[in-house]
């Protein structure tokens, strides 16, 4: 390997050497021209008569020499011989001279050709290197070669045992592996092996991991590439790479071709008056042709992954190309627990670590998020010089991921600290009463992240896939409880509720326009924007309802949020003693865990009961 690298570097060293020589040559030539002066032969004789000629060099009919004393600031001169008696004149005045005869023409030619040749070699090397980078291979002619990474059977080293939280998807993919292992088994009843399998899932759910596990499980070569690697600025390059990929796959069959981020390659073709991208369309057309052209009996499975299925061209998704579409969703509680169990294998954790509790705190986390959580917990434990990673480290890691990095240098004034404490405790008290299916995990008034002055972490007791109107209203009441607490105690509003208001507005708008939960507007959806798989939608949309309806929608959203705020205000007013005492504890300790909150709330509830009882007796 070292010899090959030396051979690759040798031409560059030679080019550098010749460039240095050429530069020195040009500098010498320019220096001579700057210091030299062309004079007539009569002036030469005149200076010769004055004894101002130091040395002379004769080259054919040209004379070059040096003055004893500079003339017009020039120390050197050149002239052309006119009379043949030059030697007699030089001898008469005792001036040394020498002659080289007729100059060789090849020297003049070389002085012009050599710099041009070297500069040509220099630019050729630059262009050649650029083509290497563009094509990802060894030369310009290989620009159409595919850039897929090829893994042999033993390279992936992953099986389905390394994948968790996607049991349904794995069950469906096991059948495809059986096709690869025993293609003849399918032919018994006349069935055909599917050509393509599309993995659809949010980022971080493990699509690429499952693809590699499939290759390791089946024990076949694995061609891994990305959709963007087929798209280049030159028309026809992407199509050539698609052809080359399938040609290599046919030679290695049975095998798996994995195309990650398929939406970069197979985006829906559109007719635009401004013109389209011919390169992308030709690449997509070539992929469609190749998927129609190869025979499934050869044992080639095309596996692709995307998190934007709504962008993919329908011709690519039809049966006969991608026959199966496997959705890999975010894991449920059991799936998260299984994923955590895999990731903590290489981490020194305490023996009685409750992975079930960590799984409960991480609702909505993907496999990549959970891997990051384990890593963050290990880093925090290392920073604290702990011998084992404990539950408290996972809690701190979760807080860092959700709320952001703790801002130790951001000091709040006493007034700001008090406002934030009452705000967060308002969320905690109302959340404890109205969100009974969620647990208040932690309340803190320590600044975190970008602009967050405090936070209240609530963790669901179980996963929910359907939410009712009452549950949405309860969520709105909890969101507005922070502002209600500020209004109750300080009789003013602050900017600390900005994030709460944004979340409440979005939730109320969905309740009114998307879910049809407002009686005055009927069981109608007014938001017909096609939402993407990732939950985002286009901001540019023409609403298909009248201005009067729009006004009713705005009023309905406003009323829903106002009623939530009013409900939270009334509840906190009835439990003002609890709000004040708990907020004082929060100001003193700055952070309260779930256990500390339970103790504080139980103690205060006993005091409230005693106070109410004494009042009744009186």
Active-site residues, by number, are 424
Dist CA 219 CA 338 (whole Å): 25
Distance, first Cα to last Cα, the chain: 96
Contacts of the segment 456-463: beta carbons below 8 A, 24+ positions apart: 456/424, 456/427, 456/428, 456/431, 457/361, 457/398, 457/399, 457/402, 457/403, 458/431, 459/360, 459/361, 459/363, 460/360, 460/363, 461/360, 461/437, 462/333, 462/437, 463/332, 463/333, 463/363
Dist CA 150 CA 444 (whole Å): 50
> How many CA atoms are closer than 13 Å to the CA of 126, on its beta-carbon side?
7
Dist CA 574 CA 581 (whole Å): 14
Q: Which residue's structure tokens are 């305490």? A: 350
Dist CA 399 CA 391 (whole Å): 12
DSSP state of 448: B
Residue 203 token pair: 């980022």
CB 518 within 8 Å of CB 556:
yes
Contacts of the segment 79-86: beta carbons below 8 A, 24+ positions apart: 79/38, 79/39, 79/40, 79/41, 79/43, 79/44, 80/41, 81/41, 82/41, 83/41, 86/58
H or E segment and range at residue 150: strand 149-151
**Residues recorded for the chain:** 618
H or E segment and range at residue 325: strand 322-328
213: closest CA among 321, 297, 328? 328
Dist CA 284 CA 289 (whole Å): 9
Tell me the H-state helices in 36-67: 41-49
By the 10 Å C-beta count (0-12 exposed, 13-18 middle, 19+ buried), 259 is classed as buried
Dist CA 454 CA 451 (whole Å): 9
CB 439 within 8 Å of CB 458:
yes
Dist CA 457 CA 403 (whole Å): 9
Dist CA 106 CA 108 (whole Å): 5
Phi, psi of 419 (to 5 degrees): -65, -45
CB 264 within 8 Å of CB 231:
yes
Edge to edge, what strands does the sheet with 455-460 contain? Answer: 455-460, 438-444, 591-593
208: closest CA among 437, 335, 366? 366
Q: Which residue's structure tokens are 């006993």? A: 606
582: closest CA among 383, 393, 392, 429? 429
Task: Give just the sign of the alpha carbon dihedral 330, 333, 336, 338.
Answer: negative
């Amino acid at each position: 390997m070292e010899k090959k690298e030396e051979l690759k570097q040798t031409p560059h060293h030679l080019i550098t050497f010749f460039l240095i020589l050429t530069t020195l040559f040009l500098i010498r030539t320019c220096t001579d021209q700057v210091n030299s002066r062309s004079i007539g032969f009569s002036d030469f004789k005149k200076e010769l008569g004055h004894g101002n000629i130091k040395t002379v060099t004769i080259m054919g009919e040209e004379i070059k020499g040096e003055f004893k004393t500079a003339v017009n600031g020039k120390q050197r001169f050149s002239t052309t011989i006119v009379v043949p008696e030059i030697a007699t004149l030089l001898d008469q005045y005792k001036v040394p001279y020498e002659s080289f005869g007729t100059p060789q023409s090849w020297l003049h030619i070389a002085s012009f050709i050599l710099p041009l040749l070297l500069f040509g070699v220099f630019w050729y090397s630059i262009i050649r290197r650029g083509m290497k980078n563009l094509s990802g291979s060894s030369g310009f002619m290989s620009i159409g070669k595919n850039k897929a990474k090829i893994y042999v059977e033993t390279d992936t080293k992953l099986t389905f045992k390394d994948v968790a939280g996607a049991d349904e998807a794995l069950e469906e993919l096991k059948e495809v592996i059986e096709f690869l292992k025993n293609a003849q088994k399918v032919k018994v009843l006349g069935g055909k092996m599917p050509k393509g399998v599309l993995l659809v899932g949010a980022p971080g759910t493990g699509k690429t991991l499952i693809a590699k596990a499939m290759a390791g499980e089946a024990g076949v070569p694995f061609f891994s590439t990305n959709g963007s690697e087929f798209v280049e600025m030159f028309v026809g390059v992407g199509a050539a790479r698609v052809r080359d990929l399938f040609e290599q796959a046919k030679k290695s069959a049975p095998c798996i071709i994995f195309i990650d981020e398929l939406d970069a390659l197979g985006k829906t073709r559109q007719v635009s008056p401004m013109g389209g991208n011919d390169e992308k369309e030709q690449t997509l057309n070539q992929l469609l042709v190749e998927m129609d052209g190869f025979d499934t009996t050869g044992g080639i499975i095309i596996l692709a992954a995307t998190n934007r299925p709504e962008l993919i061209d329908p011709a690519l998704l039809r049966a006969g190309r991608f026959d199966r579409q496997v959705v890999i969703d975010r894991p449920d509680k059991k799936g998260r627990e299984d994923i955590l169990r895999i990731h903590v294998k290489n981490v020194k954790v305490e023996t009685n670590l409750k992975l079930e509790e960590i799984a409960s705190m991480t609702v909505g986390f993907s496999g990549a998020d959970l891997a990051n959580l384990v890593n963050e917990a290990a880093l925090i434990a290392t920073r604290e010089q702990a011998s084992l990673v404990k539950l408290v480290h996972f809690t701190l890691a979760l807080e860092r991921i959700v709320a952001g990095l703790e801002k130790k240098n951001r000091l709040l004034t006493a007034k700001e600290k008090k406002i934030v404490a009452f705000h967060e405790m308002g969320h905690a008290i109302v959340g404890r009463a109205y969100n009974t299916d969620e647990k208040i995990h932690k309340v803190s008034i320590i600044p975190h992240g970008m602009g967050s002055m405090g936070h209240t972490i609530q963790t669901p007791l179980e996963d929910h896939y359907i939410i009712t109107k009452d549950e949405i209203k309860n969520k709105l009441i909890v969101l507005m409880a922070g502002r209600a607490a500020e209004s109750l105690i300080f009789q003013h509003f602050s900017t600390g509720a900005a994030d709460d208001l944004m979340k409440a507005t979005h939730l109320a708008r969905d309740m009114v326009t998307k879910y049809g939960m407002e009686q005055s507007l009927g069981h109608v959806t007014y938001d017909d924007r096609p939402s993407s798989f990732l939950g985002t939608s286009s901001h540019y949309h023409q609403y298909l309802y009248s201005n009067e309806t729009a006004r009713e929608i705005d009023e309905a959203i406003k009323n829903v949020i106002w009623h939530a705020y009013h409900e939270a205000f009334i509840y906190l007013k009835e439990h003002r003693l609890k709000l004040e005492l708990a907020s004082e504890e929060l100001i003193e300790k700055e952070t309260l865990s779930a256990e500390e909150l339970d103790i504080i709330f139980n103690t205060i509830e006993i005091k409230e009961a005693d106070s109410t009882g004494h009042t009744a007796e009186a």
